[in-house]
């Protein structure tokens, strides 16, 4: 097989040649894409790293207060950026003299 050949390995199976879902494109040792169905919301199958990475938020075993969730961190970053803008504006208008 070569990379252009997209013939599925199991043409009569549940995920046949015309299965419309997303397929894993990991390069196999034969050099062609894996073609197994990718995991939900992922671009790889379970054999090629589709389950890699830790769960986010409360599903992560180390979750405590939510202070370090992506959302909370983004929120703090936004507030800090706004404060810095206001400090610059204050300096420009002589507010701190
Ligand atoms: Zn795969």
Give the side-chain half-sphere CA count within 13 A for 95: 8
Helical H segments across 1-97, by residue range = 70-92
**Could you read off the pLDDT of 41-77 as tens digits, one per residue?**
999 999 999 999 999 999 999 999 999 999 999 999 9
25 CA → ligand 1 middle, Å: 6
26 CA → ligand 1 middle, Å: 5
Q: Measure the CA–CA gap between 22 and 13, rounded to whole angstroms.
A: 16
What's the rounded mean pLDDT across residues 11-26?
A: 81
93 CA → ligand 1 middle, Å: 59
Integer angstrom CA distances of residue 47 from 5, 38, 39, 62, 91? 21, 10, 10, 26, 57
Q: What is the pTM of this model?
A: 0.52
At residue 11 the predicted structure's pLDDT band, cuts being 50, 70 and 90, is low
What pLDDT score was predicted for residue 83? 98
What pLDDT score was predicted for residue 45? 95
What pLDDT score was predicted for residue 7? 60
């Amino acid at each position: 097989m070569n990379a252009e050949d997209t013939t599925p390995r199991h043409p009569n199976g549940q995920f046949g040649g015309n299965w419309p879902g997303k397929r894993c494109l990991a390069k196999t040792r034969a050099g062609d894409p894996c073609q197994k169905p990718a995991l939900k919301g992922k671009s790889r199958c379970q054999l090629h790293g589709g389950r890699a990475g830790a769960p986010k938020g409360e599903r992560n075993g180390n979750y405590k207060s939510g202070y370090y969730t992506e959302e909370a961190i983004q929120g703090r970053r936004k507030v800090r950026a706004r404060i810095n803008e206001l400090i610059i504006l204050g300096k420009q208008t002589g507010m701190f003299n």
